[in-house]
């Protein structure tokens, strides 16, 4: 049985061929390519077009574009980072199709940093054995990609946009095929209140769920809405326990909450060192790549050093770069640090890990198809199998590009074969599923504190049991909250947090970015497999 958020019945209805939910690199690419394929498309986004996670991506986009580099080498680095749980066919698809996908992005208008010969400048990040990270504006790659794609979307008068709209739940027809979504437009959009978009196919590109933790690099809109929607619709969701904590996030204090400034891995790629308060480079000797080891290894090393020294953070030292390099290569990071009273030119940057990227999500095949017919997913909301237990740096933007293109190729093929018919939804379909009682808006902070304390970087059976009990206690059905954006978001966060906690409790090993202190070793004999949620936990 499917479930739905408690919400008013739709007061308006519209229709299209493909409804795309989310406006980061994945959603914008799907929408643009769907239009090129001759399909009607409607793009729904929670805030404004450029307010998702894509524009915050600093480091760049990984692809085998440099001399001597090959997709095979990119594949091997990705498989190593994924700690045995990558789908090799998905990774091979990514690294093989990636270079041309980047070139098509350039054709759309994205401008990457070039050298004096007009060639793309490439850098390194953690886990990469070669320079293969293309960047823009020094450390503003996501912002440039978002700018180019938004400009292309806005130039297409036939692509309908609905901003300030929170997608609520999936609509299906009598055969269980996706047939659209319900959504709430928050006043500033083209329609007001709860409505329904009927569609031949639905594409989730809603981004991540970093807001399930107190401190994250994700923007405020990243509340796991797409994963929660998929769980309620009965789609399979997998690998939620693998949440990547970025090793170097600007430390703003132990009580800092919400979105925290990221200090890109590219800073280490250019030669910055991780040091403790005494100036000791503690990554040397721990891994062949030292500071450029895969992110899970660096994050764990930082946490261990913090615990050993009773410190709240470590430091990233890039003073040897000099002012000119900071100003030209990392202007965004330099400005963020200085805004918080830290000058990287003259002092080390205090850093600590924070929630960054979900390696798991809505389970898809190589064409972005989920286990619900007609429902697709791409970008961070999806689990394509590319990332395994730990995402390789700068593979996320590439994944969004490559699999967005593959989704549209699948949809175009269905349309050409006459297999993308209009779907019929009965008049009460939007309210037929079992309603989920809503949590109070203030539950959001309680969820974040529970998750950060018990299901963060370090986990154990005891901490996860306490987290699960705390989450369960928040569902007081005798006092259900009234429908609102805040209560819908809190309920989505709670649903995702509960599923994540259950998966983390089940996986009794340490692998990739999932660290169980009571099971410190990787256990291929029992856990070389995925944890799959068929329904909400």
Positions annotated as catalytic residues are 295
137: number of Cβ within 10 Å: 17
Contact indicator for 355, 347 with CB cutoff of 8 Å: no
Contact indicator for 323, 345 with CB cutoff of 8 Å: yes
> Can you tell me the distance from the alpha carbon of 261 to that of 218, in angstroms, rounded to the nearest whole number?
9
Contact indicator for 503, 511 with CB cutoff of 8 Å: no
Helix (H, G, I), strand (E, B) or coil at 92: helix
474: number of Cβ within 10 Å: 18
Choose among 176, 220, 163, 221: nearest CA to 202.
Answer: 176
Helix (H, G, I), strand (E, B) or coil at 69: coil
Contact indicator for 204, 21 with CB cutoff of 8 Å: yes
Q: What are phi and psi of 3, to 5 degrees?
A: -125, 165
> Can you tell me the distance from the alpha carbon of 88 to that of 97, in angstroms, rounded to the nearest whole number?
14
In DSSP terms, which residues pair with 369 in a beta bridge?
Answer: 376
> Can you tell me the distance from the alpha carbon of 238 to that of 167, in angstroms, rounded to the nearest whole number?
21
> Can you tell me the distance from the alpha carbon of 328 to that of 252, in angstroms, rounded to the nearest whole number?
24
**Mind spelling out the 3-state secondary structure of 503-518?**
HHHHCCCCECCECECC
Structure tokens at 15: 């229709």
Q: Where are the alpha helices (DSSP H) in 125-260?
A: 141-154, 225-233
Q: How many CA atoms lie within 13 A of 475 on its CB side?
A: 13
Which secondary structure element, helix H or strand E, spans residue 188, and what is its range? Answer: none
Helix (H, G, I), strand (E, B) or coil at 163: coil
């Amino acid at each position: 049985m499917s479930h739905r958020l408690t919400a008013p019945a739709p007061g308006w209805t519209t229709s299209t061929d493909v409804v795309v939910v989310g406006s980061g690199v994945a959603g914008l690419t799907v929408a643009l390519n769907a239009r090129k394929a001759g399909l009607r498309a409607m793009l729904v986004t929670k805030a404004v077009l450029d307010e998702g996670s894509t524009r915050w991506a600093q480091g760049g986009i990984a692809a085998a574009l440099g001399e001597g580099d090959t997709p095979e080498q990119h594949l091997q680095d990705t498989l190593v980072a994924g700690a045995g749980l990558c789908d090799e066919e998905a990774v091979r698809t990514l690294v093989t199709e990636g270079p041309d996908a980047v070139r098509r992005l350039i054709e759309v208008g994205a401008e990457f940093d070039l050298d004096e010969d007009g060639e793309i400048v490439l850098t390194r990040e953690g886990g990469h054995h070669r320079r293969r990270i293309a960047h823009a504006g020094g450390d503003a790659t996501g912002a440039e990609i978002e700018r180019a794609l938004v400009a292309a979307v806005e130039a297409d008068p036939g692509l309908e946009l609905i901003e300030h709209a929170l997608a609520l739940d999936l609509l299906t027809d009598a055969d269980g095929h996706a047939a659209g979504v319900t959504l709430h437009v928050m006043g500033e959009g083209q329609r007001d209140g709860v409505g329904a978009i009927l569609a031949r196919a639905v594409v989730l590109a809603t981004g991540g769920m970093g807001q399930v933790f107190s401190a994250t690099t994700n923007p405020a809109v990243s509340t796991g809405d797409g994963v929660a929607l998929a769980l309620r619709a009965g789609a399979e969701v997998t690998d939620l326990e693998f949440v990547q904590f970025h090793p170097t996030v600007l430390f703003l204090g132990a009580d800092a909450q919400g979105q925290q400034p990221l200090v890109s891995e590219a800073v280490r790629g250019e030669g910055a060192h991780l040091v403790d308060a005494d100036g000791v480079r503690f990554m040397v000797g721990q891994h062949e790549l030292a500071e450029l080891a895969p992110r899970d290894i660096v994050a764990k090393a930082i946490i261990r050093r913090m615990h050993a020294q009773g410190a709240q953070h470590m430091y990233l030292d890039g003073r040897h770069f000099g002012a000119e390099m900071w100003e030209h290569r990392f202007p965004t990071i330099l400005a963020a640090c200085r805004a918080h009273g830290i000058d990287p030119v003259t002092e080390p940057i205090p850093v600590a890990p924070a929630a960054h990227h979900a390696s798991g999500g809505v389970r898809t095949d190589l064409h972005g198809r989920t286990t619900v017919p007609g429902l697709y997913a791409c970008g961070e909301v999806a689990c394509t199998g590319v990332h395994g237990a730990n995402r390789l740096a700068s593979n996320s933007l590439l994944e969004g590009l490559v699999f967005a293109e593959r989704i549209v190729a699948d949809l175009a093929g269905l349309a050409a074969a006459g297999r993308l018919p209009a779907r019929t939804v009965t008049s009460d379909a939007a309210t037929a599923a079992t309603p989920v009682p809503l949590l109070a808006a203030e539950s959001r902070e309680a969820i974040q504190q529970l998750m950060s304390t018990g299901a963060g970087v370090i986990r154990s059976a005891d901490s996860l049991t306490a987290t699960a009990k705390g989450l369960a206690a928040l569902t007081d059905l005798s006092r259900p909250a009234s429908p609102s954006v805040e209560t819908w978001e809190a309920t989505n966060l709670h649903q995702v947090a509960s599923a994540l906690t259950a998966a983390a409790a089940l996986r009794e090993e340490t692998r990739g970015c999932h660290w169980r202190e009571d099971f410190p070793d990787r256990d291929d004999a029992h856990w070389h497999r995925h944890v799959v949620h068929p329904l909400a936990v």
